[in-house]
Structure 1
Amino acid sequence: MMEAIVFTLVGFGLMELSGWAIHKYLMHGPLWMIHKTHHQPSKYAFELNDLFSVLFGSIAIVLIIVGLKEFDYRFWMGVGISLYGFLYFILHDVLIHRRVKWFQKPKSKFLKAIFRAHQAHHRTNKKDDAVSFGLFLVPKEYYKEEEK
């Protein structure tokens, strides 16, 4: 059981770390033509940028299927990546971008910090001027409440 928890957390953590690097160096680099659809207003339910979610989801599915027979580390890492993807969808697409209107704006300090960091990321729609590329690892500056 402990092995399952550890490898699930490893899959989740690796997704945040690799997601940050992929976002900063690939999406805001050579894959900007795909990612820029996320930085532009859209009247459609889906963006070309959603292909990245399909890619990451596919990796999780392959790991789960390959590790299913033995319920080994690959299975649990796939579960961790899937958990990350689910929480990413809830935080990023539902709470932040309101692509699905299920919840109100966040009220907890952590969720507000995630929201502020992502707003800072979207202050530009240019490839090179963006900041804050992760989702769950939020720099300290975004925890500060705005003056009223």
Structure 2
Amino acid sequence: MNIIYSILIFFGTFAGMEFMAWFTHKYVMHGFLWVLHKDHHRKDHNSWWERNDLFFVFYAAISMFFFMTDYVAFGNAIGAGIAAYGATYFLVHDIFIHQRFKLFRKANHWYAKSIRRAHKIHHKHLGKEESECFGMLVPPLRYLKQK
């Protein structure tokens, strides 16, 4: 029975991380920590590393905490869910959308196109106030319906 709970907690954590990514992106990255996120919205930085990548380090540390602690029941499942979402986020956001590595350039699936459309709209504005589409894996319905 423990394995079933662990699997459920893993998938629940993974799903919950989409909300955390949306919330953090909207209220923290485009809020009081804009200073760390703004280089991600600019094209004139000349480094592969962005200050924005510190958010990835933050969530990696939280994931490691859950793996290493005995204070939380099912800590490994929670840590694994956070880590799996982080890996998925990196694959979708950094590799697929922003092409940090030149992979998946010709993906033409309706879901892939909807994620790219929503993210393109997010980056349309260079300032922190006017952005929209803060999630990653669940784009707004209007982008899923477009062909």
TM (normalized to structure 2)?
Answer: 0.91
Structure 1, unpaired ranges of 5+: none
Are 1:107 and 2:108 counterparts?
A: yes
Write the mapping of 1:61-80 to structure 2, written as runs, cut at 5 A.
61-67=64-70, 72-80=73-81
Q: Is the 8 A contact 1:40 1:125 kept in 2?
A: yes
Question: Where does residue 59 of structure 2 map in the other structure?
Answer: 56
Q: d(CA) in 1 for partners of 2:19 and 2:123?
A: 20
Residue by residue over 1:7-51, the C-alpha shift from the partner in whole angstroms, topping out at 9 and shown as x without a partner, is 111211221111111110111111111110110113211100000
1:103 Cα offset (Å): 2.3
Structure 2, unpaired ranges of 5+: none
Write the mapping of 1:3-82 to structure 2, written as runs, cut at 5 A.
3-41=5-43, 42-67=45-70, 72-82=73-83
Q: Helix, strand or coil: the match of 1:6?
A: helix
Runs of 4+ off more than 2 Å: none
Q: d(CA) in 2 for partners of 1:100 and 1:35?
A: 20
Structure 1: which amino acid aligns with 2:7? I
Aligned length: 144
Aligned residues: percent identity? Answer: 36
Structure 1: which amino acid aligns with 2:62? I
Q: d(CA) in 1 for partners of 2:146 and 2:22?
A: 24
1:5 Cα offset (Å): 1.2
Q: d(CA) in 1 for partners of 2:107 and 2:48?
A: 22
Q: Is the 8 A contact 1:95 1:105 kept in 2?
A: no
Q: Helix, strand or coil: the match of 1:29?
A: helix
